[in-house]
Structure 1
Amino acid sequence: MNDIGFKMIFDGWAPVIRTLVLGTLSYLALVFLLRISGKRTLSKMNAFDLVVTVAFGSTLASILTSSQVSLVQGVLALGLLVLLQLVNTFLAVRYPKYQALIKAQPTLIFFQGQFLTDAMQKQRVSQEEVLAAMRQHGAAEPSEVDAVVIETEGSLSVLTKNASSLDALDRVGVSTSGSLGRRKDAAESSSR
């Protein structure tokens, strides 16, 4: 094996030691930063959170593999990402218009025995996925379910037959405007 081929496999102990030391220290720094930033930093992800999570991974990889990035630069970059995430969640909690800008709204995709095909197509959810979510929540038949909602981070929530479950739909987007309100009113009056 020539010198160039050997250098691709092992380039000396200095890069190995650098990776071990910086990897350990940057990992500890990231855990510390995430711990002090609170639970919301790593909550179920919406699109913005996914971008931040990918940026965490990319930054950590740069610290580990690039000899041009110092530990201080890397930890500062990680801290900046955490700070931006905190600012983002602060704004989203206090300003509904900002939250609407960065987060998707939950969407009703099944209601009282009917698949809402327009909403399902818009959200790119198949009937089989909705049925699987129903089964996972213990419903053997669609008739046992009042509603299925695709949440902001993409999970499917299943509301089983129960008059109070309809109250959970107050802030859920519906692509068939108006018809949900009439169906909900009818369902509530029949359950009384």
Structure 2
Amino acid sequence: MTVIIHAAVAYLVLLLAVRLIGRRMASMMAPFDIVVLFLFGGALMSAVLGNDHSMVAAISVVFTIGLMHIGVSALKRRSPRFGRVVDGTPVIIYERGEWHQDRMRDLRMLESDVMAAVRQNGLMRLEQVRYAIVERDGKVSIIPEGDD
């Protein structure tokens, strides 16, 4: 039973840690970001399993984490406020020629990340961009000038 409780707590701790790290999507993660996430998971696994290295404990952990994920998803559907806490909200970081440096700092985003998204949208210059928005999943959406 303690394995199940530890797994549930570990899920919540990892969820909180991922929210604190920021919202870089997997394709934008630097190797350092990926290493940190793996280390978090590895560190918590030994705390979750403790000395119980049985197959039953491992299966219990997997099912507990799966059920926690389903429960959080259900809560997000029922409560938009909870969804904003867990997933965040879109954030405008560039608006009509002005960078919002404070927001970028909070999100740990660099101008070069935004410029990569600009180029991926077929634009070449920042002057062609009306808005750059960091979505909940960390993706940078670009709204070009002239789009209404």
The TM-score, its normalising length taken from structure 1, stands at: 0.49
Are 1:47 and 2:29 matched, yes or no?
no
Are 1:71 and 2:55 matched, yes or no?
yes
Equivalent residue letter for 1:83: L
TM-superposed CA distance for 1:110, in Å, is 0.8
Are 1:116 and 2:88 matched, yes or no?
no
CA distance in 2: counterparts of 1:119 and 1:67, whole angstroms: 44
Task: Render the CA deviation track for 1:113-170: whole Å, top value 9, x for unaligned.
Answer: 2222232233232223222221122110112222111122322121223434xxxxxx
CA distance in 1: counterparts of 2:63 and 2:87, whole angstroms: 23
Corresponding residue for 2:121? 137
Q: For residues 72-87 of structure 1, what are the structure 2 equivalents within 5 Å?
A: 72-87=56-71
TM-superposed CA distance for 1:67, in Å, is 7.7
- Structure with greater Cα Rg: 1
| Paired residues of 1:110 and 1:116 also in contact (CA < 8 A) | yes
| Paired residues of 1:109 and 1:120 also in contact (CA < 8 A) | yes
Point out which structure has higher relative CO (alpha carbons under 8 A, 6+ apart).
2
CA distance in 1: counterparts of 2:100 and 2:89, whole angstroms: 16
Task: Render the CA deviation track for 1:44-95: whole Å, top value 9, x for unaligned.
Answer: xx639x9xx869x549x76xxx984111211111000000000001101110
The TM-score, its normalising length taken from structure 2, stands at: 0.61
Give the gaps of 5 or more residues in structure 2: 1-17, 24-36
Corresponding residue for 1:90? 74
Runs (4+) of structure 1 exceeding 6 A deviation are none
Equivalent residue letter for 1:91: L
Corresponding residue for 1:160? 144
Aligned length: 113
